[in-house]
Chains A and B, each alone.
Chain A
């Protein structure tokens, strides 16, 4: 027998007693009166920030005001954007502006998948990550989020909350471990 069949046979033989699968929707989960407020308060502790686009303002205005000396900037939210043929080619991106499909109030994450760009490496190589999310695309908890996303659509998707961080040296929180050093969520 192959390793596979051996393992499965042993598991079958060693099955613990039967146990029912619970209905995770039968339990009430937390609701937020002001989802944006909950999201924005949280993300400020996670190395990020969240703003709502005001009338007459553009995403580019906000980004330019925040990082006036930005280096290579790639905006995936516009139809005609730069594309590369190797994931390493994003290595010197300073600001990446990318679409976020969904925001979650309870933990300040944004779901990113990548229907419009070939290589997801840009989300992690960029120094500053700007996530542009439609303001109605906000849910309370991860349970609601998983009901809304199409997971296998593009082979990859991630919930991202704030900037990359670590506390591996004496529990001191440091922003900018391997991924983005700063994150900004703009609700439009």
Chain B
């Protein structure tokens, strides 16, 4: 489970203490962003695809109740049992009751941010069910008793040496062997045993098709497929926003997802589940957990278009330089910074400020969510609800007053340009974002306004001379 009491600036400062690791984190994730760009450029229709995806999702959300009912009816026709959960607790209770009724001892899970959101693993473990996360990155963080730090690359905060040490302890691999291929294949052998001995499999859902009542799960590792084709029970947990109207719409979303997420043309496996395997049973749990409230909020409902590709965090200059653990909500980065405060402003308000408002997230989002605009609106809400630290609040109030009084603003600037150069450095290094060696730049002699007036005057003089 994630520590939801963290405040972004302090946690980020902590992360940045290891400069080498921070630099690696930044460049490794930026590389994924560049791969995404390379894929996007290969398709002349890329921007049209984003528009289509946005419009399909916008339409679906505008009739979500109808599409959910249609999805349920079609899934039931396929022989699938459909459950509804109002919140995380109800989701966990439903999953547990399915497993308990069938004496399940071991559950293999493929990646599902929803079950992280619901805290399913500890809930089941407390009730005596062994839960094995099977996505390699998720397995690594599970063995370390950590939450994922990225929604697509759960262990991106770790170096191979740390993983080697972990596997040596947990899986008995050779000490000091840091080769990623060796380590991956050791985990493969270990997890194969778990797949073959599991009593049930649980997956997330990437897309749920109203028209056919089936769900689609995309993985590169094949873990969702092994986890659902071997044990007799398949439970698929889905947020209610995962619906798309028709099968043909996958022709848009499967083209966008992996290209946006990891810069690959597609995931290795794009699997469509409509019925249980022979002799088995399939359950789908549809989870609300606050989503229907977000749907009713005019400023923030567009965040429900999200397909969880993670492109927004890969491009985010703040995420790359602060890591997922600096964000209090289970989903980090720009999308998490709107979903978190939508869910609980008191807990997650600091996330909305972990943003330079550069807008890069909105520019890469495959469903064109207005992410940076939503973060600004959340800041306003945090201010209105009096949730800002006193210093930040006073600063904003002062800035508001100044911008409403231009003469005072000019005077303030003049004073700053004189005073800042003579105050001791220790006082100007107070920001959580700054560090030694990043001093304030020298103050200019004139304000922008003065320079502009001077320039206009010079230009006029020149013209008069001619």
A152 to B75, CA, bound (A): 11
Q: Decide: B212 and A152 in contact? CB cutoff 8 A.
A: yes
Q: Decide: B62 and A121 in contact? CB cutoff 8 A.
A: no
* Most chain A CB neighbours (cut-off 10 Å) among B51, B155, B255: B255
What residues of chain A lie closer than 8 Å to B156, measured between beta carbons?
171
Tell me whether A24 and B265 are in contact in the complex, defined as CB-CB below 8 angstroms, given that A176-B185, A178-B222 are known contacts: no
Q: Decide: B278 and A118 in contact? CB cutoff 8 A.
A: yes
Tell me whether A3 and B90 are in contact in the complex, defined as CB-CB below 8 angstroms, given that A87-B277, A125-B226 are known contacts: yes
> Does A54 count as interface, using CB distance less than 8 angstroms?
no
Q: Decide: B68 and A8 in contact? CB cutoff 8 A.
A: yes
Within 240-290 of B, Cβ neighbours of A (below 8 Å) are at 240, 245, 247-252, 254-255, 262, 264-278, 286, 288
Within 15-50 of B, Cβ neighbours of A (below 8 Å) are at 28, 31-32, 42-45, 48-49
What residues of chain B lie closer than 8 Å to A106, measured between beta carbons?
43, 255, 265
Nearest CB of B to A70, in Å: 19
What residues of chain B lie closer than 8 Å to A159, measured between beta carbons?
254, 266, 269-270
What residues of chain B lie closer than 8 Å to A156, measured between beta carbons?
271-275, 277
Within 8-59 of A, Cβ neighbours of B (below 8 Å) are at 8, 10-22, 24, 27-30, 42, 46
Q: Decide: A152 and B268 in contact? CB cutoff 8 A.
A: no
A21 to B249, CA, bound (A): 10
What residues of chain A lie closer than 8 Å to B295, measured between beta carbons?
11, 14-16
Nearest CB of A to B40, in Å: 12
Q: Nearest residue in A to B61 (C-beta to C-beta)?
A: A16
Q: Decide: A158 and B272 in contact? CB cutoff 8 A.
A: yes
> Does B118 count as interface, using CB distance less than 8 angstroms?
no
Q: Decide: A164 and B268 in contact? CB cutoff 8 A.
A: yes
Nearest CB of A to B307, in Å: 15
Identify A160's interface contact among B31, B51, B269, B286, CB under 8 A.
B269
> Does A177 count as interface, using CB distance less than 8 angstroms?
yes
What residues of chain A lie closer than 8 Å to B55, measured between beta carbons?
19-22
Identify B136's interface contact among A11, A108, A168, A171, CB under 8 A.
A168
Q: Decide: B272 and A157 in contact? CB cutoff 8 A.
A: yes
A41 to B327, CA, bound (A): 40
Tell me whether A124 and B188 are in contact in the complex, defined as CB-CB below 8 angstroms, given that A19-B59, A156-B271, A164-B220 are known contacts: no
Identify A120's interface contact among B32, B61, B245, B277, CB under 8 A.
B277
Q: Decide: A174 and B68 in contact? CB cutoff 8 A.
A: no
> Does A142 count as interface, using CB distance less than 8 angstroms?
yes
Q: Decide: B86 and A3 in contact? CB cutoff 8 A.
A: yes
Tell me whether A179 and B269 are in contact in the complex, defined as CB-CB below 8 angstroms, given that A87-B277, A164-B222 are known contacts: yes
Q: Decide: A174 and B180 in contact? CB cutoff 8 A.
A: yes
Tell me whether A178 and B191 are in contact in the complex, defined as CB-CB below 8 angstroms, given that A124-B222, A155-B275, A161-B265 are known contacts: yes
> Does B325 count as interface, using CB distance less than 8 angstroms?
no
What residues of chain A lie closer than 8 Å to B68, measured between beta carbons?
7-8, 11
Nearest CB of A to B269, in Å: 6
Q: Decide: B59 and A21 in contact? CB cutoff 8 A.
A: yes
Identify B248's interface contact among A24, A121, A168, A169, CB under 8 A.
A24
> Does B160 count as interface, using CB distance less than 8 angstroms?
yes
> Does B52 count as interface, using CB distance less than 8 angstroms?
yes
Q: Decide: A155 and B269 in contact? CB cutoff 8 A.
A: no
Q: Decide: B62 and A27 in contact? CB cutoff 8 A.
A: no
Q: Decide: A177 and B220 in contact? CB cutoff 8 A.
A: yes
A6 to B86, CA, bound (A): 8
Within 277-323 of B, Cβ neighbours of A (below 8 Å) are at 277-278, 286, 288, 292-293, 295-296, 298, 301
Q: Decide: A166 and B278 in contact? CB cutoff 8 A.
A: no
- Contact stretch, chosen from A60-68, A74-82, A130-138, A143-151: A143-151
* Most chain A CB neighbours (cut-off 10 Å) among B58, B212, B272: B272
A90-124 to B contact mask, C-beta < 8 Å, 1/0: 01000000000000001111000000001111011
Q: Decide: A168 and B154 in contact? CB cutoff 8 A.
A: yes
Identify A28's interface contact among B31, B45, B212, CB under 8 A.
B45
Q: Decide: A169 and B155 in contact? CB cutoff 8 A.
A: yes
Identify A168's interface contact among B153, B270, B271, B274, CB under 8 A.
B153
Q: Decide: A24 and B249 in contact? CB cutoff 8 A.
A: yes
Identify A7's interface contact among B49, B153, B180, B292, CB under 8 A.
B292
Q: Decide: B268 and A7 in contact? CB cutoff 8 A.
A: no
Q: Decide: B240 and A11 in contact? CB cutoff 8 A.
A: yes
Question: What are 9 A-B contacts defined by CB distance under 8 Å?
Answer: A2-B84, A7-B86, A7-B288, A11-B295, A16-B298, A20-B55, A30-B43, A124-B222, A158-B271
Known: A106-B265, A125-B226. 8 other contacts (CB 8 A): A3-B86, A19-B61, A21-B55, A87-B230, A119-B229, A151-B209, A164-B222, A177-B222
5 tightest A-B CB contacts, nearest first: A179-B222, A155-B275, A14-B296, A143-B251, A177-B221
A residues bordering B, Cβ < 8 Å? 2-4, 6-8, 10-22, 24, 27-30, 42, 46, 87-88, 91, 106-109, 118-121, 123-125, 141-147, 151-152, 155-172, 174, 176-180
